[in-house]
Amino acid sequence: MSLFKARDWWSTVVEGEEGREEECDTGCLVIGNINNENPPKDKIVVGGFSGTLRVFSPQSYRSEEGEEVSGYRPDHVLLETTLIYPILQLAVGKFVSSNDLNHLCVLHPDRLVVYTISVASGQAGHGDHSRLAVAYQHKLQRNAHSFMTGPFGGVKGKEYLAVQSLDGCITVFEQESYAFSSFLPGFLLPGPIAYVAKSDALVTVSSDWCLQCFKYQAVAVATDNEKDKNSSNNNSKGGKRLSPEWTQQLGEPALDLCVLSPPEGPTSLLVLTHHAVFCFKESGVLKFVKKLEFNPSSFLAFIVDNYVHVCIASHTETLLVYRESQLKWASQLPFAPVALARANFSGITGALVMLGDSGQLHVSYMGTDPSLFVAPPTETREINYDQTDKELANLHKIIKASTKDTGALIGMNRGDSDLLVSGTVGTQLEMWTGNTRVQNPDGGVPAVPVVVRLTAHTPLNTVRVNIAVEKPLSVTQDTFVLRTICDTSQILVKFYLEDPYIPTNLSVSIITSYVTHTGIPRIITTNLDLPMRLVVKPSMPNKEADHKVTISTNKDAVSLPELFPDLASDTSVGTALGLQYYSGADITILSSRTTNRYRLQSDRSVYIWVRVMLYIYLSSVLPYIVYMEM
C-alpha cells in the first residue's frame, strides 16, 4: 500500500438508463478533440454496455471569490445520448473521406458506426449544444470482439478500420468501403490487437499465449480475393492461411496491448499479462520485462524524454508508475480502474483519466499528500482476574460438552450412533432400458439394483445422501434429500454402464450427512462393490494372448466356475474362462491344478486393470496367494 493518494481534480459517475448502474470495460474510454474545437482541446468520451454515450469537457473555472477551482459541473457534459446497441469499443480519428475532421467510431456487437459530432449555436441564451449524426455504418456478418485503427498500407491523411470477430476474422474497411476479410491462423479465442504504423503490421496475442506480428500486405493478400458484387456487405468467405512475421512466447494470457510510435525514435510494443509487463522492439526483440507482484487491472504507456513510462493499476486500488522496469511512484486510487488514459485540460496537463467497471470516472494527478492511518486509542480498563478465570472455566465446560463423542463426527458408523447406513447389492442383474452409449450386439447392457437402508435411532431432519461412482458407470440418481427420518428409510437406485470405455474401479461410495439434535454435523461413508458382470460378459476363452499375468498359490487351484459363479456359463470348463468387455476386448482366465497357478491374459495391455481387479478378487477368496507375475 502506498503512503500517497491520487489527487482528485474532477470526477463523476456515468449511469445507465433510468439511473441504473453502468457497466464498462477496457474499450469504453477514449480521449480526443471529438468536436474539432479550435484551438484543440481534449474531451472524454465514455460508453457502456447499456448503450449510453457521453462526452465530457472537464475544465477549471472561477469561483465567486475569484479563485480557480476544479470539479464537475453540469455544463461539462457536451453530449449525452443512448444508442440502441451495447458499446464495445470507442475510437477517435479521421474516418471520413470527404474531410480531415475527427470523427467518433463506435463498435457494436453486430455493426461498426462512425458518428459526426457537431456544435450548434444556442438560441435565447441557452448556450451551445452538440449533435450526434451518423456518417456511415457497416453491418457485420460476424459477432465483433474489438477493432483497431490506423493508416493501413501506408495511406496518408486517412485512418482505416479493422474489426476482429469472435471467430478470428479480421475485416478491414477503407473508411466507407469494405476492403477484405482474412482469418488469423490457429485461432481459438480473441485477444488484444493493435496496429504498428512504421512497419505497417498488426500485432495480436493468440490463444496459445504467443505474441504474433503479421504484415498488413500479407493479411490483405491472404484472402480469397473474391470481391463479388455484394462485397459491400463484407460477406466474403474465409481466406488462405497466414504466416506471422515473428512470434514471441509470453507464457500467460494477455490483458492489454499498447503500441508506442513516437515521431522520432524506435517503436515499442507493450503487453500486459497477469503477472508481468513485456516491452518488445518493432522487430520482436525483447527490450525489458517487469514481473509484477500484484494482480493488474489496466495499464497506460507513454514516452517522456525517450524513456517508456508505464502506469499500471491493480485490483488492490493502487497505481504504480514505472520508468521502463524501475518503479518511480506509487499512489492509492479510489477504485480499481478498467481503463486508463492521459489528457490535457484547461488548468491541468498530463492528467490521468480513470474509468471504473461501474461507470466511475475520475481525472486525477499524482500528489504528495500522505494518507496516514492513525489507530484509535484502545479502551483501557482494569482487569478482574477472578472474573476472567470464571469465564475461562465456563468456556472450557462448553467446549468439552460440545466435543463429546467427536469420534462420530466424520467417517464413523458405530452401532450406537444416531444413524446407521447400509447398502445391499442385488444378486440378479436387470436389462437397462434407459439411454446408454454402449453398443452391445447381443442386446442392451445390464443394470444392478442397490438398496440403501437408513436406520435412525432418533428423529433426524434434512438427511442428505450422495452416491458417487466413477465413470463410465452411472447411477440413476446420485443425490437424495430426506426431510425427516424417524425409523427406517430405503432408497433404490440402479447402476449401469453409460460409456464404452474402461472403468477404473467398481466401488461405490455412499456419503450421508446430517446434523444431530445437539447441532453437531456428522458424515457417514459407506462403500460397496459392484459385480464384475456389470462391465464384462462371458465369451469363448482364447488360449493365446500377447499380455499375460500369472498368479501363484500354495494351495490347489480351485475350479474357475466356483470362483466366478456369476460369470461362468453352462459350457464353461473348469480350467478356462473367457470374458469380454462391452467395448469388445477379450480376456481369458486359465487355471492349472498341477502347478497351482492362475493366468490372466489378453491381447491388449490397456485392459490390464481387469487382471488386477481379478487379482484383488482372487485375493479376497484365496488368502493363500503367494505372488503375482506380469
Cβ neighbour number for residue 24 with a 10 Å cutoff: 25
Q: Count of alpha carbons within 13 Å of 227, Cβ hemisphere only?
A: 11
Task: Look at residue 323 and tell me whether its pLDDT is greater than 80.
Answer: yes
Q: What is the mean pLDDT of residues 97-117?
A: 95
Q: What is the mean pLDDT of residues 86-101?
A: 94
The model's confidence at residue 222, banded by pLDDT at 50, 70 and 90, is confident
Residue 38 grid coordinates: 479550435
Q: Give the pTM.
A: 0.59
Q: What is the mean pLDDT of residues 314-320?
A: 94
Q: Count of alpha carbons within 13 Å of 359, Cβ hemisphere only?
A: 19
Residue range 535-629 forms a domain whose CATH class is alpha beta
- The residues, any chain, with a CB within 8 Å of residue 430's CB and separated by 6 or more, are 446, 447, 448, 449, 494
The model's confidence at residue 599, banded by pLDDT at 50, 70 and 90, is confident
Q: Residues 121-169: pLDDT tens digits?
A: 665 455 678 889 999 999 999 999 999 999 999 999 899 999 999 999 9
Q: What is the mean pLDDT of residues 552-577?
A: 75
Q: Which residues pair with 294 in a beta bridge?
A: none
How far is it, in rounded angstroms, from Cα 216 to Cα 281?
A: 18
Task: Look at residue 255 and tell me whether its pLDDT is greater than 70.
Answer: yes
**For the ranges 85-94, 372-381, 458-467, 484-493, the one whose mean pLDDT is highest:** 85-94
How far is it, in rounded angstroms, from Cα 539 to Cα 579?
A: 5
Domain ranges of the chain: 7-365, 406-533, 535-629
- Higher-scoring residue by pLDDT: 253, 368: 253
- Higher-scoring residue by pLDDT: 32, 71: 32
pLDDT of residue 238: 46
Task: Look at residue 402 and tell me whether its pLDDT is greater than 80.
Answer: no
Q: Residues 529-557: pLDDT tens digits?
A: 998 888 888 888 887 778 888 888 777 77
- Cβ neighbourhood burial of 495 (10 Å; 0-12, 13-18, 19+): buried
How many percent of the chain have pLDDT more than 90? 50
pLDDT of residue 140: 95
- The residues, any chain, with a CB within 8 Å of residue 565's CB and separated by 6 or more, are none
- Higher-scoring residue by pLDDT: 326, 369: 326
CATH number of 406-533: 2.60.40.1230
Distance of CA 253 to the CA centre of its chain: 11
Residue 616 grid coordinates: 484383488
Q: What is the mean pLDDT of the chain?
A: 84
- Higher-scoring residue by pLDDT: 433, 408: 433
CATH number of 7-365: 2.130.10.10
User: Nearest CA to 307 among 290, 291, 322?
Assistant: 322
How many percent of the chain have pLDDT more than 70? 86
Q: Residues 41-69: pLDDT tens digits?
A: 999 999 999 999 999 999 888 777 777 77
Q: What is the mean pLDDT of residues 172-195?
A: 93
Q: Where are the extended beta strands (E) located within 100-166?
A: 103-107, 111-120, 129-139, 144-150, 160-165
pLDDT of residue 230: 41
